[in-house]
Amino acid sequence: MTKHNNMPENPEPFWRELIDLPSFSKLKDSLKVDVGIVGGGITGITTAYLLAKENINVALLDSNVILNGTTGHTTAKVTAQHGLIYDEFISHFGLEKTQLYYQANMDAKKFIKQTIDQYNLKCDYKEENAFLYTNSDDYLLKLEHEQKAYDKVKIPHETKTNIPLDIPIKSALVMPNQGQFHPLKYLKQLVDESVSNGVQFYENTAAIDVEYNKHPTIITRDGYRVTCRYVIEASHYPFYDGQGFYPTRLKPERSYIIGIKTDKSYPGGMYINAESPTRSIRSTPIDDENLWLIAGENHRTGQGKSTIDHYVALQNFAEKQFGVKDFIYRWSAQDLTTLDKLPYIGPVTKGQDSVLVATGYRKWGMTNGTIAAQILADSILEKENPYKNLYTPARFQGDPSVKKFAQFNTNVAKSLIKGKLDDTKENINNLDIDEATITRVNGERTGVYKDKNAELHLVDTTCTHLRCEVAWNSGERTWDCPCHGSRFSYTGEVIEGPAKEPLEKRSLND
Ligand SMILES: Cc1cc2nc3c(=O)[nH]c(=O)nc-3n(C[C@H](O)[C@H](O)[C@H](O)COP(=O)(O)OP(=O)(O)OC[C@H]3O[C@@H](n4cnc5c(N)ncnc54)[C@H](O)[C@@H]3O)c2cc1C
């Protein structure tokens, strides 16, 4: 691929380097366990850890390797400061529920810290102040409303017009003593503990369905059956919908992270702006220095400009504000947002209490994923949990949900129609190395990618989930679906659900 201003050639997250994670074999037989967990990110692993401590017999399946989903590609701030949200939550849910949300996230932070202390874990955990800032006149009033919401919810805070980081701001809202860590060093410990307590992990084992007889049974792509008392869908996007209509209730959004060194010393703190485009900043130790992580540039998956441009925008921002000495990492990932911005945690639908789901963390899954694990483990262990009702997927909040539902579906419908009518008539012979196009091949709409060896890879661009048209993601070299966020490699393999089947391969001779 062409190098863009010293940009690292391949997207690789810092967290997965320099860490020795255990690996596990594929599932090669059918199984019976108490709980079958699908997904080895923060949600699935924390749930497995909690259940195994209580002598519950657990199997965890991951379609890839564990900790290579969104959890392996996060920014890993452990905080209850989730952008501009508390004012909005008070108006949608009322003060009591908003206080519960804050409390739930602070409890999750406390659980993470206690677990770190319990195992004397070296996972670069550090308490930092969290700054929500704006440099836009238009956002000053919004930040003021958020500050008033902090007052109502009784969130300790300060307002500032100067912050330690040398960037222009007009105002900032500070939530003191929040946290940050190396998420995979932390979760590796939970995996090791879970293995010691008998959890069976299986990698490269995709779950494709749930079948109900007396007990729910997970069906894997290879045709094996995992029969359990409970199924936990910790697969980020629920792999089994159970007629809960999740595709209409979840919005996938990508964002980008760069890891750089600068000549400046990092002043401490975790930062995020209120306006668009998002700029989220923290640091993490690397070789006795600081790696500055700069994240942002959110957009709906499969929509918007060439994805490599988002990395360039972050690089330009870093260059202008701090000066880039070394551009070491770049990676991107997506997270899901629910209709009312509160995660869905609980039974997949009202009638299916033995299939539990946890999703929709809106890029705040370190705390929300930990809360999810506690809620789900407690409901299996038949323990009370103060946050269970708040997060239940069965809730219905008329006002914001209905409006967004309409907007969302209009957007999805456009992707279906636009995709079907477009015909770029791009000539394959004109493709550069590491470039892709969508064109007609033998009358069929086809995605064509030319790799570094000039080999062409042709796929049908119709997403195998609900038949929207995928778009090329140049930054990651993937085909991404704008409707529900499924992603496919350039050879068509599923990288990320909800799609379960690969894109159909095409050839010039079809
Ligand atoms: C750029 C970015 C920055 C972020 N920064 C922060 C932050 O600073 N703080 C914060 O709190 N949150 C942050 N988040 C959000 C947080 O990272 C996520 O919400 C969280 O990691 C989601 O965890 P998970 O366990 O639900 O999903 P994942 O980590 O994605 O795990 C799901 C697993 O399920 C597996 N899987 C999927 N389908 C199947 C199937 N059919 N069968 C078997 N396995 C399957 C996948 O392979 C994957 O391993 C950020 C998100 C993004 C995108």
Ligand 1 contacts CB of residue 48 (under 6 A)? no
Is the confidence at residue 250, as pLDDT, over 90?
yes
| Pairing state between β 77-78 and 171-180 | antiparallel
Structure confidence by residue, pLDDT tens digits, 336-350: 999 999 999 999 998
- In whole angstroms, what is the distance from residue 373 CA to residue 350 CA? 19
Of 214 and 121, the structure prediction assigns the larger pLDDT to: 121
The pLDDT tens digits of the residues spanning 144-167 come to: 999 999 999 999 999 999 999 999
Average pLDDT of span 429-448 = 87
- Check whether 418 has a pLDDT greater than 60: no
The yes-or-no verdict on residue 408 having pLDDT over 60 is no
pLDDT tops 90 at residue 504: yes
On the question of pLDDT at 270 being above 50, the answer is yes
Q: Give mean pLDDT, residues 210-226.
A: 94
The pTM for the full model equals: 0.90
pLDDT band at 142 (very low <50, low <70, confident <90, very high): very high
Kindly report the protein residue whose alpha carbon is nearest to atom 37 of ligand 1: 235
DSSP state of 466: T
Q: What is the CA radius of gyration of the chain?
A: 23
Cα–Cα dist 457/459, whole Å: 7
Cα 368 to its chain centre, rounded Å, is 11
Distance 234 CA to ligand 1 centre (A): 9
The Å distance, Cα 462 to ligand 1 centre, comes to: 25
Binding site membership of 343 for ligand 1 (Cβ less than 6 Å): no
Amino acid 130: pLDDT: 98
Is the Cβ atom of 283 under 6 angstroms away from ligand 1? no
Q: Hey, what are 463's tokens?
A: 């997403």
Of the residues 45, 62, 203, 501, which should be mutated to test ligand 1's pocket, given the most ligand atoms within 8 Å of the CB? 62
Q: Which of 47, 67, 68, 70 to mutate to test the pocket of ligand 1 (most atoms within 8 A of CB)?
A: 70
Mutate to test the pocket of ligand 1, among 68, 258, 284, 363 (most ligand atoms within 8 A of CB): 363
* Centroid of ligand 1 to alpha carbon of 377 (angstroms): 19
| Residues 300, 365, 272: CA angle, nearest 5 degrees | 70
Identify the pLDDT of residue 412. 57
Sign of CA dihedral 208, 213, 355, 49: negative
Tens digit of pLDDT for each residue in 286-336?
A: 989 999 999 999 998 888 778 899 999 999 999 999 999 999 999 999 999
Cβ count near 354 (within 10 Å): 17
How much is the pLDDT for 443? 81
Contact partners, residue 492, CB within 8 Å, separation at least 6: 457, 459, 460, 479, 502, 503, 504, 505
| In the predicted structure, residue 87 carries a pLDDT above the cut 50 | yes
Give pLDDT, residue 422: 46
The proportion of the chain whose per-residue pLDDT surpasses 70, expressed as a percent, equals 93
**Which of 120-129, 422-431, 476-485, 501-510 shows the lowest per-residue confidence on average (mean pLDDT)?**
422-431
Atom of ligand 1 nearest to the CA of 66: 49
366-380 average pLDDT score: 98
Nearest atom (ligand 1) to Cα of 333: 53
In angstroms, what is the span from residue 227 Cα to ligand 1's centroid? 25
Candidate of 109, 175, 361, 493 to mutate for ligand 1, largest count of ligand atoms within 8 Å of Cβ: 361
Instruction: Report how far residue 306's alpha carbon sits from residue 72's, in angstroms, rounded to the nearest whole number.
Output: 23
Enter the tokens of residue 151. Answer: 């007052």
What per-residue confidence (pLDDT) applies to 214?
83
Residue 359 has pLDDT above 70, yes or no: yes
Q: Tell me which of 14, 71, 202, 331 to substitute to probe ligand 1's pocket, judged by most ligand atoms within 8 Å of the beta carbon.
A: 71
What's the farthest any 2 CA atoms get from each other in the chain?
A: 67
pLDDT digit string, tens, across residues 384-403: 999 999 999 998 644 445 44
Ligand 1 centroid – CA 301 distance (Å) = 15
**269: Cβ below 6 Å to ligand 1?**
no
- Whether ligand 1 lies within 6 angstroms of the CB of 333 is answered as yes
- Rounded distance between C-alpha atoms, residue 232 and residue 184, angstroms: 21
Which alpha helices (H) appear in 14-156, and where do they start and end?
42-53, 86-93, 95-118, 137-153
